[in-house]
Amino acid sequence: MELYYLIAFALSCLLTGVYMFIWHRHFDVHITLVFVLAPVTNMGFWMMARAQSQEAAIVAFNMTFLGGCFLELMVMLMVFSLCDIHLSRWIKTGMLIISATVYAFTLTIRDGGLFYKSLEFVREGNAAYLQREYGPVHSVFRGLVAVYFAMSLACILYSFWKKKQISRKILALLFLPVVVAVICYYGGRRLVPHIELMPVAYAFGQIMYLTIVLKIGQYDVEDTAVDTMVQTGSTGLATFDFHYHYLGSNQTAKEVFPELNNLTVDLSIRRSRTLQSLMTPWMEEFLENPADDRHLQEKNGKIYLITTSWLYNGKRRKGYQLTILDDTKNQENIRLLNDYNDKLEAEVRRKTEHIVEMHDQLIMSMATMVESRDNSTGGHIRRTSEGVRILTAAMQRDPDNALGEEYRRNLIKAAPMHDLGKIAVDDDVLRKPGRFTPEEYEEMKKHAPEGLRIVHEILKGTDDDVFRKIAENVAHYHHERWDGNGYPEKLKGEEIPLEARIMAVADVYDALVSKRVYKEKMSFEKADAIMMEGMGSQFDSSLEKYYVESRPALEAYYSSLE
């Protein structure tokens, strides 16, 4: 029997030695603690089998309880960590405190107490054991072990069903040792009396966990990527603390920046003026704005991409890391692509301007065609467009007016479309050489809603929704009045879109100072009196000051037409 425990202890030590040989700093700390505790626990079982006295047996017994109190806890925490399920620090601390408290009671078993009420050392042949009467704390201990087993199994099963990013092979390798430990712990004495099977369970667990750590490196993308970058030499790395003290760099970084060879670890980067002027601004800009983390640097005919990031020690930031990558080919491709895009954009812009010009000419031609049907308004669309241009120029000169340049361009372009609806008016009405009867006036009013419909149909395929809306409003609402007595919707005040209010001023002014078949043109003075009288009733009173400012330009324009 003593040989059995010795073999289990030796195997456990051998497996721990293998783990130490392949150990990597990225290995989970709980796995490392499992490989530390397992040999100690198995050594306790071996010492128990060799004990010649009760004192020696109690010392060995206390060592075996390291496994029950702490090894099972570390296995559970390892399972949660590998399954990417994070327990809070408070929960882990609480479990550790409970396990330590229970273990403290095992140290009092010499004189009997809460863990064991009584102990008796028994040696039969080559076997030794302690015959004991269980106390209440021992029940707590068994319950604690059961909780650790249950949580481990629940975590593995949950991950199997819910977590697609966890390797099924690793989950199986975690599941097997937990099941074996449960069988050995609760059924070992029934299967093999007077022999503890837990040493075999611990050694089996170590074999499974060794297999896991060998496999897990294949699945840990972050660790393998970092190791590959460092080992292949394709990526340079240089690190500095928050005081710009040099911490180290790999060979690739030194080949790109030979000045790094002259820096001394733990001394300031300021000892090299070249590196200080080059690298310090990168780190300062990153500290101020972490999004500003990339810079390009030309060296020896190549272009390097320098990425600044935080340097971590565990979860704490310790400084800066500069990652140096040869980005020459990528930058050349970007340059070629940018050149191509510039040429393409220029060509698209030229063709777009041509299409827009054709579109504008088509609109003007349609407006001219409609106007040619009306005996009374020759040249009206051209004159009102110029009136809109003059009025909006005055508005733009006002620092308190937020009229944008794009809005002004769209409104001037939309002005010729304001009377397109007249195409739907009967010729007898439209071409009448005198004033309209009430019935004829109602017929004429239809040109506003018809204008909306026609403009909408013409522009519904355009991508410029802003221009389309302005043109529709100009056509539909340019006969609305500020006091609500206009048509077709009898809108009032600011219910009338601004573009329609501006159009109304230019439209009426042109009607007053231009000759029509039913009237002579008015003098500028008389037309101005009518316009000023209409401010606040027919026209938006806020446009009065712009009309007054524009009056000299309007009069000069209309005078030039004579």
CATH number of 346-560: 1.10.3210.10
Residue type present at position 96: L
Supply the pLDDT for residue 540.
94
Distance CA 371, CA 380 (A): 8
Chain center to CA of 506: 51
Fold of 2-224: Rhopdopsin 7-helix transmembrane proteins (1.20.1070)
Q: Rounded to a whole number, what is the largest CA-CA distance in the chain?
A: 139
Residue type present at position 349: R
Distance CA 123, CA 45 (A): 14
Where does 23-167 have alpha helices with state H? 29-50, 54-66, 72-82, 89-106, 136-162
Angle between helices 198-219 and 2-22 (to 10 degrees): 10
Q: What is the pLDDT along the chain (562 residues), one digit of tens a residue?
A: 688 888 989 999 999 999 898 887 667 888 889 999 999 998 988 888 888 887 888 888 888 888 878 888 898 998 898 888 888 889 999 999 998 998 888 887 776 677 777 777 777 766 666 667 777 887 888 888 899 889 999 999 998 888 776 777 888 888 898 898 888 888 766 777 677 888 888 899 889 988 888 776 544 444 444 555 555 556 888 999 999 998 888 888 888 899 888 888 788 888 888 888 889 999 999 999 999 999 988 888 888 999 999 988 767 888 999 999 888 888 788 778 777 777 788 777 776 656 556 566 666 656 566 655 554 445 788 888 899 999 999 999 998 887 889 999 999 988 888 888 887 777 677 667 667 788 888 888 888 998 899 888 888 877 788 988 999 999 999 999 999 999 999 999 999 999 999 999 999 999 899 887 667 889 999 999 999 999 999 999 999 999 999 999 999 999 988 7
Residue in this structure with the two tokens 């204008």, named with its chain if needed: 451
| Residue ranges of the chain that CATH labels 1.10.3210.10 | 346-560
Distance CA 384, CA 422 (A): 16
- Is residue 31 within 8 Å of residue 216, measured between CB atoms? no
The whole-model pTM stands at 0.45
Distance CA 134, CA 118 (A): 8
C-alpha pair distances (Å), 526 with each of 3, 283, 519, 534: 126, 73, 14, 13
| Residue ranges of the chain that CATH labels 1.20.1070 | 2-224
Instruction: Return the SS3 of 367.
Output: helix
| Residue ranges of the chain that CATH labels 3.30.450.20 | 232-326
Question: According to the CATH classification, is domain 232-326 in 3.30.450.20?
Answer: yes
Closest CA to 156 of 91, 215, 84, 88: 84
